[in-house]
Structure 1
Amino acid sequence: MKIKTAPITLVNGLFADDVAANNRGLAYGDGVFETILVRGSRPLWLDDHLQRLAAGAKQLSIPCDIATIKRDCIQLIAVFDAPMAVLKIVLTRGASLRGYTPHPASPDRIVSIAAYTPNRANWNSGIALALCQTQLSSQTRLAGIKHLNRLEQVLAAEELLRRGYQEGLMMLRGSVIEGSRSNVFCVVDGKLSTPSLSHCGVNGIMRQHILKHADELGIASTVREFGVSLLQRAEEVFVCNSVIGIWPVTKIECMHKQIGPISHLLQREFDTYFYV
């Protein structure tokens, strides 16, 4: 029976709100996380998220018990009463001695759930994008994974809040990488492109599904490096993640864009996942 409507958290399988002060996730951002849309008590692409969590944990040499984490997720969803929610999984290296050296420790898993209200207006009408002044750093060993070191995104979010934008593009040495909380796609000459993540950025679950669906629909797509000049030429631009879905872009700073047929087609492919 569902009994909860306020946010709830499990820490290592127990209902709690606190973690140890010497937790390495708190001290150093030493861990990985996932954010998952829950609609009608069904977590969207849960297994995909858990696989990415495990891959990121392996990259950081953090033990990861997927079966136990999945059990935590199911337990929270079972007692949470909201039509739509966001489930967050955080896996840290655990508590340890002072210093950066990752001594052996038992990992901590923190799984929480909270109600969520989707923004259908952004899905339908699109958004304006800023070009963030905050730049990303290159670190190939962290590229693609969703690790807890998010200060660059925090700085970008502060910048966007101050300027009145809902999302902005983040770059590395002139190359577009991603949004502050999304992946980015553009359509040039009818071909779908998304930035390479070989140096930094998060390989989003929604990004993966869009590339897969594009292939099934016969839409030519490529993963490549590109700068703002390609976005200037683009017929369409959109951002995406597995919570918001697809938000078309109608403006990038002073560049105006149209919501085009490929954006609409992909939205129709995913509409039932997020709204209908």
Structure 2
Amino acid sequence: MVGSSGFALVNGRFSDEVSASNRGIAYGDGVFETVLVRGSQTLWLDEHLCRLQSGAKILNIPCDIAAIKHDCLRILAAFDEPLGVLKIILTRGTTARGYTPLKAESDRIVSVSSYKQHREMWDEGVVLAVCQTPLARQALLAGIKHLNRLEQVLAAEELHKRGYQEGLMMQAGCVIECSRSNVFAVVSGELITPSLSLCGINGIMRSKILSDTKSLGLPVRVKAFGISALVRAEEVFICNSVFGIWPVTKIECMHKEIGPMSRLFQQEYERYFYA
């Protein structure tokens, strides 16, 4: 399919059609990735494909990484916008009716569409809500980016109605993540980020930051914490691999300062998003 909004490949063919019996549609039975595209170059595609493959393994879905990567290269060759988002979807394919995942060939769907960055959020920060929509506890699916995103859909609808760009999502009183990003805070000089052992997505940008703390010599802890930790925090920032790093200037009525840790990580990664 070729259109003004972008391109799509379904199992290696230009198309925007999948079977009505596809398990990705019927049950959210699959995994996906979203990858920033700048000037036809992808940001951290290999890391995204590695996470896709890991998620597929947990769900026992066949995953042909070579075919997926080939589809990505083909579709990017046809995309001429300066900025875009590449979306990679892998489903269990089409089977007979019923939850039981009988043997089927997986379906891969790769699409790309234009994207507009929000530099003002990078520079000036973002205001967060505390979402009333909670996250469910499911350790078996924790960390992976599976296709069932109903919690995030409900949270996004809530945030839109309330006039917020992004919001914190909780599980049993613990901060887990935001609706489309991960969260970090600096408390008493120590960088902390929520544990994702029970729910949440292990973001690529989150992993990059955690890895870089070692080379930068920064203290960091992955731990469970509630809103009270964010009240005490000297600074808070959110991140994902599409928009980068946004400092938090306010959590509902609670003001926060843009601090040196947020700016340090922005300095480390600005070239990937705005060079």
Q: Summarize the alignment of residues 59-98 of structure 1 with structure 2, pairs less than 5 Å apart.
A: 59-98=58-97
- 1:57 equivalent in structure 2: 56
Quick one: which amino acid aligns to residue 206 of structure 1? M
| Residue in structure 1 matched with residue 161 of structure 2 by the alignment | 162
Aligned partners of 1:195 and 1:223 also within 8 Å: yes
Which residue does 2:262 correspond to in 1? Answer: 263
Instruction: Say whether 1:195 aligns with 2:194.
Output: yes
* Residue deviations 1:66-91 (CA, integer Å, cap 9, x gap): 01000000111111001111000000
For 2:12, the equivalent position in structure 1 comes to 13
1:247 maps onto 2:246 in alignment? yes
Question: Structure 2: how far apart are the matches of 1:253 and 1:219?
Answer: 29
The residue identity in structure 2 corresponding to 1:238 is F
**For residue 232 of structure 2, what is the amino acid of its counterpart?**
R
Question: Aligned residue for 2:220?
Answer: 221
* Separation of aligned partners in 2, 1:4 and 1:246: 31
Q: Compare 206-215 and 163-172 and name the one that shifted more.
A: 206-215
Matches within 5 A, 1:98-113: 98-113=97-112
**AA paired with 2:200?**
G
Maintained 8 Å contact 1:238/1:248: yes
Map of 2:180 onto structure 1: 181
Structure 1 residue 233: Cα displacement = 0.2
Paired amino acid for 1:216: S
SS of residue matched to 1:141:
helix
Q: Distance in 1 between matches of 2:212 and 2:41?
A: 21
Q: Is there any run of 5+ residues in structure 1 with no aligned partner, and where?
A: none
Query: Equivalent residue of 1:81, what SS?
Result: coil
4+ runs deviating over 2 angstroms: 3-6
Which residue identity lines up with residue 70 of structure 1 in the other structure?
A: K
Q: CA deviation at 1:4?
A: 7.6
Which residue of structure 1 lines up, in the alignment, with residue 234 of structure 2? 235
Q: Distance in 2 between matches of 1:5 and 1:159?
A: 29
CA deviation after TM superposition for structure 1 residue 40, in Å: 1.6
Q: Could you tell me which runs of 5 or more consecutive residues in structure 2 were left unpaired when the two chains were aligned.
A: none
TM superposition score normalised by structure 2: 0.98
Distance 2:248 2:99 in 1: 41
Q: Distance in 2 between matches of 1:4 and 1:130?
A: 36
Conserved? CA contact 1:144–1:203, under 8 Å? yes
Report the counterpart of residue 132 of structure 2 in structure 1. 133
Q: Contact (CA 8 Å) 1:5, 1:115: kept in 2 or not?
A: no
Residue 115 of structure 2 corresponds to 116
Letter in 1 for 2:128: L
Task: Name the structure 2 match of 1:209.
Answer: 208
Aligned residues: 274
1:6 to partner: Cα distance: 3.7
Q: Please say if residues 5 and 81 of structure 1, whose CA atoms lie closer than 8 Å, have aligned partners that are also in contact.
A: no
Distance, in Å, in 2 between the alignment partners of 1:60 and 1:262 is 37
Aligned to 2:110, the other structure's residue is in SS state: strand
TM-score, length-normalised on structure 1? 0.98
Retained in 2: the 8 A contact 1:132–1:168?
A: yes
Question: What amino acid sits opposite 2:22 in the alignment?
Answer: N
RMSD in angstroms over aligned alpha carbons?
1.0
